[in-house]
Amino acid sequence: MNTPTLLKNCEAVLFDLDGTLLHTLPDLAVAVNAMRVDLGYSVLPEALVSKFVGKGAENLVHRSLTGQMHELAPQDQFAKAYLLFQQHYDRVNGQHAQFYDGVLEGLTQMAQMGLRLAVVTNKPARYTLPLLQATGLDSFFAVVVCGDTCAHKKPHPLPLLYACETIGVWPEAALMIGDSLNDAQAAQAAGIPCWLVPYGYNEDRDILQMPCAGHIQSLLQAATILQAA
């Protein structure tokens, strides 16, 4: 673990949501496959859907239609599919979501330390806010930045910088915790150190090869490190 000296002055922690705080893949896979069945397509394995998660709902739908990470579906097909996905995800959002080990304990410890906490996710507000409320996570966070809050999503630095400005800290006094290259690149561009967890959705990339300040096994471990810094 590489713990930069500036973490001694850490005042705020920003968190990704899907794959970092909550295991939401089962809900997403149900919605994706219900959408595909409605369109006359076969069901995708959950493991494949997990590779498509990370760059927002629109990209998830495109990838689920084309089977490719960077290929876009025809606009008329996408528009119909996206509407179906929204309807199905509204229905199942949060039904099967689970906390990762150490999340509640880590958040509680960080809050007790007086750290200001925020969520920065590419998930649209339509799904983010109900999910946080349904799981009780909303009580931890002073700021929630969703995929449609700013003009750009992660890996652009704007959502992280917006979170810092809104929560009232300089970027250098914040820490990002996520699970993907999106988080690492956004944090690097914003001048914010980033720790990555190994258990989330990273588009089938090796997190050990991603630019970050360190790797943690859980949010509880992160809290323990911050308290000792």
Work out the burial of residue 166: count CB atoms within 10 Å of its CB; fewer than 13 is exposed, 13-18 middle, 19 or more buried: middle
Residue 18's identity, in one-letter code, is D
Q: Is 179 a catalytic residue?
A: no
* d(C-alpha 85, C-alpha 122), whole Å: 16
Contact 200, 180 (CB under 8 A): yes
Query: Residue 15 — φ and ψ, nearest 5°?
Result: -125, 135
Q: What angle do CA 61, 65, 67 make, to 5 degrees?
A: 110
Cβ atoms 178, 15 nearer than 8 A: yes
Among residues 16, 27, 179, 183, which one is catalytic?
A: 16
What are residue 98's phi and psi, to 5 degrees? -135, 145
The residues assigned a catalytic role are: 16
